[in-house]
Every structure is written in structure tokens, then in C-alpha cells.
Amino acid sequence: MSFTNLLWTSAQPIIKMLIIAAGGATLFKTGAINPAGLKVLSKVNIYLLAPPLLFVKIVAGITVNDLPKLGIIVLVALIYLLLGLLAGLLIRRCTRTTPTFNYAVIACATWGNWGDIPLAVILSLGALPPFSAGDDTKGVAYASIFVAVFYFTLWGAGYKLFQMDYAGDDKKLDLEMEVDLEGGSVGTVGDKTDEMPEEGMGDARESAPAAASVTAPSVRSTAMSTQRSSSKRNNTPTARRIVHRLGRVYHTYSSLFNVPNVTLLLSLVIALAPPLKSLFVRTDGGEPPLGFLFRTLDFLAGGTVPMSLVSLGGGLAQLSFRQTSLPSCLSLVTFKLLLQPVFGLGLSLLLTHTLQWVDMHDKIFRFVLLFMSCTPTASTTILLTQFYSPTGESVEIGSTLFVMYVASCVTMTGFIALFIHLVG
């Protein structure tokens, strides 16, 4: 394949995505979709379309024989995420960001687009030389594991970065949760508890002149009442703290069991258990019992990438560079599109030639490992911003990603050509 043909082949999936995203931007600019509409689209994508995509790709593309490769994919994915996290923390510390982009900048450096772009690129290039027949299917399966790590980390903890930008600092979040748990203001509860013994002491002082007329049973009754009040005073704050801590534990770990993560775990169990997998996917030549359901989910999953790109285009159309921190924007673009791909290239060479964990003849596997390092920030970051924003707007992150995605048309095309040349 000539260099010109290689560049054109590498550019085709990028152009395809640009066309769909431009459609979303046009809808937004013409008023057909407003920020509130984009927020609805983000919910549809997150709760309705993304889970079927995850289920279909993992169940169909992963087998027990792929377990060693799965371990390598997870390792590489976690290394990329850790590198992005460190870069995001550095960018946040060294550049000035707006209040609604203070923590999201970390997420933008950490999570790359491992869904829309890789699927489009692999499906477009996997059936062409230097790859073999069927490599496009394998490539999608390998990419789905990156997507699984993406979802597990983002929905397990990463989404809180966007939540914090709009909900305030950690103390505010904890206070709101405590109020919800106890059904009232923390200060109000404490004031009532503290007032009880003070009122009892005041009554005792006022009735001191009449102490001689109090009978013994009355004294015992008053002492027992005071003891119960003291016990209640001492135990109530402790119980409240226990309830509060249990609530914090539940609040922290319940997020791991959201729709995408539950779908991920269920998909992996079915994919790695042949009897369960045969219920959905044809393995012995016969029609699977739940084949119709699987095809329905596959049909529904087909809308994930176009819907994501439409939402991405609408989010990118919310341009306002006056609200964008230029140092943060340029730092993110430089890291995601230039520095991380160079790091990914070095990591791939280490795994292939030095450690020999990756078969150098497994071209599609090597290409997937390499390509995941050169993708721009995930479009899901815009969806989550729209989701947590009270108005559904995503101005600063949309402007930043607009610059990044425009630049990625050039950088990804160049790196795709380089990666294909290396694995070929």
C-alpha cells in the first residue's frame, strides 16, 4: 500500500465521524436541539443505547481463549488511565480553570475516546490489508475490553469529577447527604438535643425553694428521667454518626452497580461461560434460544455511535472561547494527541519486543493497543457535563473538545498511518 493510499485509508473513518458530528452541530445551531435536548440525548445514550452495545460486543467477541490477551488489554488500559490521571492533576495544578471545569479537566486528560472512534476505525480498516479476514471482528472484541475498563472506571468513580464541578466541594456533598439521611438540618438536630438537659437544669433551679416539699418517689422519678435524658443525649449523636457513615459507604459503592457496570459484569459472565453464551450466540451451528433478543439488542446498539456523535457535535457547537482557559486547552490537546501516543508506542515496543508478551504477528491486536493511545478525550465527558449541568450546557468542555477534535483529524490520521506501517 502506497503512502498516499495509506493516508486516505486512515482518513476515511475520521471523515465519516466528522460528517455525523457536523449534523449534530447543525441541529444545535439551527435551534432544532437546545441544551435541554442534548441533556435528554445524553440520558438516552447512557441508559438505553450504551448497555446493549457493551453487552453485544463482549458476548459475541470474547471467549475463554482470549483470557491472556484480556489481561494484557486491562493492564495497558489501566496504564493509559493512570498516565492520563497524573497528567490531568498536573494540568489542573499548573493552569487556571473555571469553576465548572475545575475537576472535569482531570477527566478529560484521563478518559480517551475508546468507543465511538475505535469502533469506526476498526470496522473500516480491519478488513483491509495488512490485516487478515475476520480481524475486524477480533478488533472490535479487543476494543470492547477497553470499553469495559472505560465504563468500570468512569462509572465507578470518574463521574464524580463532573458532579463535583456542579455540586460544590466534598463537604457540601457530605452535608447534603447527611441532611437527606436524617430528614433535617444537622445543626437543628444538635440544637434540640443540647437544649433538653439545659431546660431540665433550669426547672430544677427554679424549684429549689420547694425542694423540701418534693416526695421521695418524685425525686426518684426525676432522677430516672434525668438519667434517661442524659443517656439519650449521649447515644443520639453516636447513632447519627453511624447512620451517616453507613450512608456514605452506601453512597460510595452503590455507584459501582449502575446500569453500564451491571451490564459489563453480566456480559463478561455470559461471554466466559459457554453454556450461557450459547443461549445468545450461535456456537454449534444451531439457532440460539435467545438469538432474537440478542439481535434486538444488537439493533438497538447500532444507534450508540451515531447518537454519541450527534451529541458530540451539539456539545462542540457550544463555543465560547471567552470562558475557555487557553493554557488548559492547549495542555490537554498536547498531551492527548502528541505525548500519550508517543508513550503508547514505547509501551507497545516494550510489550512486543522486550517482554515478548504480545505476538508481533498478531497485527490487529497490536494495532488496537497502539491506537487507543492516540484518541482524543471521550465524548462521554460532554454527555456527563450536560447530565450534571442544571441547564444542560457544556460550554467550556465543548470549546476545549472542539479544538482537540479538529486537531485530532490531522494527528490521528498520521498516527493511524504510522501504526499500520509498524504492524504491517
CA angle 267, 145, 73 (to 5 degrees): 140
**Separation CA 292–CA 114 (nearest Å):** 28
**Separation CA 331–CA 92 (nearest Å):** 10
- What would the pLDDT profile of 48-87 be if each residue is shown by its tens digit? 888 888 888 788 878 888 888 889 999 999 999 999 999 9
Give the count of beta carbons closer than 10 Å to the beta carbon of residue 354. 8
Q: Is 142 helix (H, G, I), strand (E, B) or coil?
A: helix
**Residues 179, 185: contact at Cβ < 8 Å?**
yes
**Separation CA 28–CA 314 (nearest Å):** 5
Please give the pLDDT value at position 34: 85
Please give the pLDDT value at position 411: 94
Domain boundaries, the chain: 3-167+260-423, 176-202+216-253
The amino acid occupying position 366 is: R
**Residues 298, 51: contact at Cβ < 8 Å?**
no
**Separation CA 70–CA 51 (nearest Å):** 20
**Separation CA 141–CA 159 (nearest Å):** 25
Please give the pLDDT value at position 89: 94
Give the count of beta carbons closer than 10 Å to the beta carbon of residue 392. 21
In this structure, what C-alpha cell is assigned to residue 226? 434525668
Q: Is 134 left (phi over 0), alpha (psi -120 to 50) or beta?
A: left
Please give the pLDDT value at position 203: 38
Give the count of beta carbons closer than 10 Å to the beta carbon of residue 81. 19
**Separation CA 184–CA 161 (nearest Å):** 27
**Residue 251: exposure state from Cβ atoms within 10 A (0-12, 13-18, ≥19):** middle
Please give the pLDDT value at position 73: 94
Across-strand partners of 377? 112
Q: Is 377 helix (H, G, I), strand (E, B) or coil?
A: strand
In this structure, what C-alpha cell is assigned to residue 387? 447530565
At the top level of CATH, which class does the domain 3-167+260-423 belong to?
mainly alpha
**Separation CA 132–CA 138 (nearest Å):** 10
Mean pLDDT by 10 residues, the chain (424 residues): 75 84 90 84 83 84 83 95 95 85 90 85 82 81 84 82 71 36 32 35 37 43 51 59 72 66 85 90 82 92 83 76 80 95 95 92 93 90 79 76 89 91 86
